């Protein structure tokens, strides 16, 4: 190779690298499949469930009576860039929660939107019981999908994951698109299930810099599925998560993903 050709080649390498990086950025921005992990598939564990009445010092958010502790909530952001706008809306007052209550159970009214707790929480133990419809309708992410959004930002996935393949970091109990549960402790559709979620809120300094990320421990139907797992940032459907500064306490969100998912016995013990 001549000397001039070698020089041209050396000049071209950084240009090519920039082009590839741009293409990867575009892919990350536009393709939700890039953040799906399909392997490994978590082993199934059989359990009869783990249901617990609120301790005397718990804040009861739903005891089967009504939705007075809940209100309507904004739609979730698709990617990290959408978080600041969403946060602003999350902290506003909204209309009463539009979901149904019958026989001591609250159920998503598909299409009515997400809901959030009136009260805000940071570090906490959250107990929540849920079930997906007994009659199976749809598959993968379209089967009994809802979600528990800690601080309205960090989703522990609710899904019918009983013999229902989907990406592992999107199944029931996953830190959605960040971490699959250690095992699949799902009960069959139509059966009540529980989450006990021990959550440590993130810390930011006065300049909004992240000092300590959020951590979460999750017990699904009495089975440990996350042990003080680090959360990488607010849940995103598209692209990688990254932290945005927010208050020490924010409301708990529940997701309307178009499925008739029900909830009961929701309480919090602040840590």
Pick the stretch among 6-14, 101-109, 114-122, 146-154 that binds Mg ion (CB under 5 A): 146-154
Compute φ and ψ for 237, nearest 5 degrees. Answer: -85, -35
Alpha carbon 163 to chain centroid, angstroms: 21
Tell me the closest approach of the beta carbon of residue 203 to Mg ion, in angstroms: 26
- The count of C-alpha atoms lying within 13 angstroms of the C-alpha of 194, restricted to the half-sphere facing its C-beta, is 20
Q: Reading across the β-sheet that carries 146-150, which strands appear in turn? A: 70-72, 115-121, 250-254, 146-150, 154-158
Nearer to Mg ion, 145 or 265 (CB): 145
Can residue 152 be called a binding residue for Mg ion (CB under 5 A)?
Answer: no
Between 122 and 147, name the residue whose CB sits nearer to Mg ion. 147
Smallest separation, CB 145 to Mg ion (Å): 5
Q: Shortest gap between Cβ of 158 and Mg ion (angstroms)?
A: 6
122 binds Mg ion (CB under 5 A): no
* Ranges within 20-79 binding Mg ion (CB under 5 A): none
Within 63-186, strands assigned E span 70-72, 100-102, 105-107, 115-121, 124-131, 146-150, 154-158
Stretch that binds Mg ion, among 26-34, 140-148, 190-198, 202-210 (CB under 5 A): 140-148
How far, CA to CA in Å, does 160 sit from each of 126, 134, 186, 188? 20, 10, 8, 8
Using CB under 5 A as the binding criterion, the count of chain residues that bind Mg ion stands at 4
Of all residues in this chain, which one has the CB nearest to Mg ion in the complex? 147
Dist. CA 97–CA 116, nearest whole Å: 8
Q: Tell me the C-alpha distance between 58 and 65, whole Å.
A: 17
Q: List the interface residues with Mg ion, window 202-261 (CB under 5 A).
A: 255, 257
**C-alpha separations of 3 from 7, 9, 10, 11, 44 in Å:** 6, 10, 11, 13, 62
Q: Is 147 in the site for Mg ion (CB under 5 A)?
A: yes
In the complex, the smallest distance separating the C-beta of residue 146 from Mg ion, rounded to whole angstroms, is: 6
Q: 38 vs 203, which CB is nearer to Mg ion?
A: 38
Give the residues lining the site for Mg ion (CB under 5 A): 145, 147, 255, 257
């Amino acid at each position: 190779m001549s000397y001039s050709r070698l020089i041209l080649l050396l000049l071209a390498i950084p240009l090519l690298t920039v082009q590839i990086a741009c293409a990867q950025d575009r892919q990350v921005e536009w393709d939700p499949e890039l953040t799906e992990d399909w392997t490994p598939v978590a082993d199934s564990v059989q359990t009869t469930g783990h249901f617990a009445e609120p301790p005397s010092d718990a804040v009861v958010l739903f005891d089967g009576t009504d939705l007075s502790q809940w209100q309507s909530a904004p739609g979730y952001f698709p990617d990290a860039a959408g978080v600041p706008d969403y946060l602003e809306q999350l902290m506003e007052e909204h209309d009463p929660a539009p979901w149904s209550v019958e026989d001591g159970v609250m159920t998503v009214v598909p299409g009515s939107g997400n809901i959030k707790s009136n009260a805000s929480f940071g570090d906490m133990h959250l107990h929540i019981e849920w079930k997906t419809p007994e009659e199976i309708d749809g598959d993968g992410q379209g089967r009994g999908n809802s979600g528990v959004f800690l601080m309205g930002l960090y989703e522990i996935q609710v899904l019918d994951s009983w013999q229902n393949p989907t990406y592992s970091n999107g199944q029931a109990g996953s830190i959605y698109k960040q971490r699959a549960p250690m095992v699949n402790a799902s009960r069959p559709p139509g059966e009540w299930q529980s989450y006990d979620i021990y959550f440590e809120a993130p810390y930011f300094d006065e300049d909004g810099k992240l000092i300590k990320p959020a951590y979460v421990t999750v017990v699904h139907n009495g089975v440990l599925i996350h042990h003080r797992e680090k959360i990488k940032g607010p849940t995103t459907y598209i692209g990688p998560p990254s932290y945005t500064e927010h208050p020490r306490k924010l409301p708990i969100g529940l997701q309307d993903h178009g499925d008739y998912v029900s909830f009961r016995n929701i309480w919090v013990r602040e840590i």
